[in-house]
Amino acid sequence: MGRLPVISAGILTSLLLVSCADSSAEQNSEGEDPAAGTSTAETSSEAGDTADTGGAPEDTEGPDAAEEDPSSSPESSDADSMPFSATEQGSYDAPWALEFLPGTEQMLITSRYGELFLRSSAEGADASADLSVTGLPEDIVVEGQGGLGDVVVAPDFEESQRVYLSWVNSSEAGTGAVIGHAQLVDSGDSAALEDLTVIWEQDPKTSGSGHFSHRLAFSPDGEHLFVTSGDRQQLDPAQDLSSGLGKVMRLTPEGEPAPENPFAEDGDVTEEIWTYGHRNPLGIDFDSEGQLWVSEMGPEGGDELNLLEAGENYGWPEASNGSQYGGAEIPDHTEGDGFAPPAAWWTPSISPGSLMIYQGEMFDDWADSAFLGALSGEALVRVELEGEQAGQQEIWEMGARIRDVEQAPDGSIWIIEDGDGAALLRLTPGE
C-alpha cells in the first residue's frame, strides 16, 4: 500500500491511479457493453461471474478523458507514510455492507450471496465466533450485481432492535430491489430476524442484473429513509419522473412516500422521488450539518460525489464528465445546462462503491470528510467537505477493491474489501 499525495477535488482534474494501471485492462468494475453504453454484468468481484467480454475497463482512461495535469498527477509513496494503521479483523465472501449496532460491541455484515453475520466489533475479536443470522428473505436473487445488499439500523434500534435490509428479488416482470425491516433477536449463541416485512419495491422491475444501487440512509432526525435506486442499465428512465429508476427516494420509516416530497402532487412512484438523473449511486450519507451526499459510478470515467437538493436533476444520461464505453461522447456538465453538477468527479474512474462521512473524534483532522471505497481504483478516498463544496482529497492505495466503509462508535474507521476472502480492516491513527 502507498499513499497518494493531496490533490484538489474542486479543480476536477483527471486522476491516474498508478497502482491500478496494470490490472485495469484485465478487471473492470462493471463490465459495460461498449456498443450500447449500458452495463451488462460486473466482474467476478462485483457480480460473482466473469465480466462481459465486450466490457471496457472502468479505470482505464477513455478517448474523451480529461487531459492529465502533470502538476497534480498523484504518485505512489512509501506505505510508511500512511496516516493510519490497518489491522485485519477477519475475512468474508462477497461482503456488501457493514453496520455497527448502537449500544453494543456488535456489528452486522451482509454478503451478496444471501448471508448476514452478527459479530463482535471489539478489536481482535475471533471471527470464527460470528453468528449466521437466520430468518433472511427467501426470495433473494443472487445474480450479476444482485443479492443481499445494504443493512442499516432503525433510529430507535436500542429500543426496537429493528434493522432494515435491501435485496434483489424477481417476478414475471423481471428483477428489482426490495427494502424490508425486521427485528434482530440475539440469544447469545444464535441470532435471527423476526417479523420480516417488505416496505418498498423498485418500480418498475426490468430485465438484467445490474445497477440496483439500493443503499439506505436515515435522516438525522430519524423521520425519513432515503433509498438509492439505480438506472438498471436502462439510461433514459433516469430522466423520466414516471419511473422509479435512476432516482433517490425519500420515504417514511414504513416505506410510504414522505410528505412534502418535491413531486408529491404527481402521485404513484413519482411521489417517492427526492432527486433524479442518477446512474448507479452506491453510497449515501449525511454530514454534520444535515446535508445529504451521494457517491455515484459514472460510465467510462465521470464518477461523481453529489450534494443532493430536493427536486434537482443530476444529469444522467444527458450529462456526464465520462464517456460511454467504446468512446461515444456524452456532453460534459456545463454551467447553465439545467443539471446539478457534481461537487467532485473522477476520470479515469475509481468506481466508488460506498460513502461514509466521518463524524468521529479518533481522527482529529477528518471531521466531515467524505470517505469513498474505490472498487476498480483499489483505494480509500478522502474528500474534504467545506459546506456545500468538495475541497482537497487524498487517495490511499489499498491493494484491493474496497466495498464498504463505516465509522465505528469509538471513531475508528472500518473497511471491507470486495470479493471472496475479502478482509475486514480496522483503521486507527498511525504512529
Look up residue 391 and give its DSSP letter. Answer: E
Determine the CATH number of domain 3-429: 2.120.10.30
Distance CA 429, CA 409 (A): 15
Give residue 34's pLDDT band: very low, low, confident or very high (50, 70, 90): very low
What's the pTM? 0.87
The mean pLDDT value for 266-292 works out to: 98
| CA dist 311 → 164, 261, 264, 275, 292 (Å) | 25, 8, 11, 5, 13
Distance CA 276, CA 202 (A): 14
**Averaged pLDDT of the chain:** 86
Distance CA 342, CA 353 (A): 17
Q: Output the pLDDT for position 431.
A: 76
Domain boundary assignment for the chain: 3-429
C-alpha cell at 69: 495535469
Closest to 176 in 3D by CA, of 151, 150, 213: 213
Look up residue 313 and give its DSSP letter. Answer: B
Q: 381 and 353 in contact (C-beta within 8 Å)? A: no
Give the active site residue among 181, 211, 214, 333.
Answer: 211
Q: Output the pLDDT for position 266.
A: 93
Q: How many residues does the chain have?
A: 431
Instruction: Give pLDDT tens digits for 45-81.
Output: 333 332 332 233 333 323 223 333 322 333 333 456 7
Instruction: Give pLDDT tens digits for 174-198.
Output: 999 999 999 999 999 999 999 999 9
Question: 466531515: which residue's cell?
Answer: 368
Please say if the pLDDT value at position 409 is more than 80.
Answer: yes
214 is catalytic: no
C-alpha cell at 272: 417517492
What percent of the chain shows pLDDT beyond 70? 81
Q: Output the pLDDT for position 151.
A: 99
Please say if the pLDDT value at position 43 is more than 60.
Answer: no
| DSSP string for residues in 329-387 | --PPP-TTSSSPPPSEEESS---EEEEEE---SSSGGGTTEEEEEETTTTEEEEEEEET
Q: Output the pLDDT for position 123.
A: 87
Q: Output the pLDDT for position 326.
A: 87
Q: Output the pLDDT for position 79.
A: 57
